[in-house]
C-alpha cells in the first residue's frame, strides 16, 4: 500500500499488481483508508487485499495535500480541469513511480469521471478500469444544477470578497446543505428527516461540516468539471471497463438510461446499476464499499481470467 511520495518510487517500479484508487470531490486519498474501506476492500482475503496488490492513493490537484487555493494563492490559484487531474495522475504513476502499466484503476464519483478520461487518454496504461457512480457524458441535469447553485452562492456572497475572505462565506455554509441532501438517497432522507425539527438538525449538521471545507477549494473543484467530455471518445477505449452505478443516486440518475445507450460503444465493457435498498445511501453508497465490494471482486476476477486466456494463447 502506497502513499504517493518519491521515496517509494523504486519499490513501485517493480509492482506487477499496481492499482490506482482515486477519491471523490472534496475528499482525498486518506478518505479511501477509512475503516470500512479497509475492512471491505483491503483486508486479507478481500478483493484488493493489500498483501497482494500495490495500492496507490494520490490526492488529486486541488484536494488533500496536493496544491490547492487554500495553500495561500486563494482565487489567484491557476484554474485547472479534469484533464489536468488525469494528466497529473498519469505523470505521477509513470514518471514518479516508474509504473508503465497498471493492473486496475478504481475511482469514485469525480474519480469515476477521471476513469473514463484515463481510459481514453491512455488506452494501454491498464488492464481494466472501474468507474463508480459516474456517467460518460458532460455534466448535466441535476448534477449541473447543484454545482451551479453552489458556485453562484459562493461567488455572489459579498463575504467571499473575490476569494479573499477571512472566515467561511455564508453563501457556502448555506449552500452546502443542498449539496449534502443530493448526496443521500430519497428513501433514506425520508427516514432521517421526518419533521421540521429533524430538517433543522440536518441543515445545522451540514453547515457544521461545511466549516471545515475551504470555500475556494470547493469552488475550484466544482468548476474543474467543465472540460469533462468523454462521450465522443468511448469507441477508442481498449481496456476493460466495468461501470458501477446506484439506482438511488440523485447525481447520476438511472432513468435516462445513459449507460444502456453508451456502454455498447466500449468494446470490452459492462455496467451494473445496483438497486437501492434500506441500507444504501444514494450517491454516498460509494463511501460504503461493504455494499458493493462483490462487484469489485467480479471485476478483478474478470481481469485474472483475461490474463489466463492470454497466457494460454501464448
Q: Look at residue 56 and tell me if it is in a domain.
A: yes
Q: For residues 133 and 245, is the Cβ–Cβ distance under 8 A?
A: yes
Same domain (yes/no): 59, 110 = yes
- Structure confidence at residue 4 (pLDDT): 41
Pairing of β 18-22 and β 102-108: parallel
Q: For residues 148 and 125, is the Cβ–Cβ distance under 8 A?
A: no
Same domain (yes/no): 128, 188 = no
Q: Look at residue 296 and tell me if it is in a domain.
A: yes
Written as tens digits, the pLDDT of the chain (314 aa) is: 344 434 444 445 556 799 999 999 999 999 999 999 999 999 999 999 999 999 999 999 999 999 999 999 999 999 999 999 999 999 999 999 999 999 999 999 999 999 999 999 999 999 999 999 999 999 999 999 999 999 999 999 999 999 999 999 999 999 999 999 999 999 999 999 999 999 999 999 999 999 999 999 999 999 999 999 999 999 999 999 999 999 999 999 999 999 999 999 999 999 999 999 989 999 999 999 999 999 999 999 999 988 788 778 76
The grid cell for 110 is 469525480
| pTM of model > 0.75 | yes
User: Which among 203, 224, 245 is the end of a domain?
Assistant: 224
Q: Domain range holding 171?
A: 141-224
Q: What is the dihedral of CA 101, 50, 283, 254, to 10 degrees?
A: 50
Same domain (yes/no): 196, 173 = yes
Same domain (yes/no): 105, 151 = no
Q: Look at residue 208 and tell me if it is in a domain.
A: yes
Number of domains in the chain: 2
Amino acid at each position: 500500500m502506497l502513499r504517493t511520495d518519491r521515496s517509494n518510487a523504486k519499490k513501485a517500479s517493480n509492482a506487477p499488481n499496481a492499482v490506482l484508487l482515486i477519491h471523490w470531490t472534496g475528499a482525498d486519498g486518506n478518505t479511501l483508508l477509512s475503516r470500512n474501506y479497509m475492512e471491505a476492500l483491503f483486508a486479507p482475503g478481500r478483493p484488493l487485499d493489500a498483501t497482494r496488490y500495490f495500492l496507490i492513493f494520490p490526492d488529486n490537484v486541488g484536494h488533500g495535500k496536493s496544491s490547492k487555493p487554500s495553500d495561500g494563492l486563494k482565487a489567484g490559484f491557476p484554474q485547472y480541469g479534469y484533464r489536468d487531474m488525469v494528466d497529473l495522475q498519469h505523470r505521477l504513476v509513470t514518471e514518479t513511480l516508474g509504473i508503465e502499466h497498471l493492473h486496475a484503476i478504481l475511482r469514485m464519483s469525480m474519480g469515476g469521471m477521471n476513469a473514463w478520461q484515463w481510459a481514453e487518454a491512455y488506452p494501454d496504461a491498464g488492464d481494466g478500469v472501474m468507474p463508480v457512480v459516474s456517467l460518460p457524458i458532460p455534466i448535466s441535469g441535476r448534477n449541473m444544477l447543484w454545482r451551479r447553485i453552489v458556485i453562484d452562492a459562493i461567488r455572489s456572497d459579498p463575504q467571499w470578497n473575490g476569494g479573499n475572505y477571512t472566515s467561511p462565506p455564508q453563501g457556502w455554509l448555506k449552500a452546502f446543505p443542498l449539496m449534502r441532501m443530493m448526496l443521500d438517497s430519497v428513501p433514506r432522507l425520508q427516514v432521517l428527516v421526518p419533521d421540521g425539527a429533524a430538517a433543522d438538525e440536518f441543515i445545522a449538521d451540514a453547515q457544521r461540516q461545511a466549516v471545515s471545507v475551504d470555500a475556494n477549494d470547493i469552488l475550484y473543484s466544482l468548476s474543474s468539471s467543465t472540460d469533462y467530455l468523454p462521450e465522443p471518445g468511448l469507441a477508442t477505449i481498449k481496456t476493460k471497463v466495468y461501470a458501477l452505478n446506484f439506482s438511488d443516486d440523485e447525481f447520476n440518475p438511472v432513468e435516462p438510461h445513459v449507460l444502456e445507450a453508451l456502454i455498447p460503444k466500449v468494446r470490452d465493457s459492462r455496467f451494473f446499476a445496483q438497486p437501492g435498498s434500506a441500507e444504501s445511501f444514494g450517491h454516498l453508497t460509494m463511501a460504503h464499499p461493504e455494499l458493493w465490494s462483490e462487484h469489485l471482486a467480479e471485476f478483478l476476477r474478470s481481469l485474472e481470467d483475461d490474463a489466463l486466456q492470454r497466457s494460454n494463447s501464448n
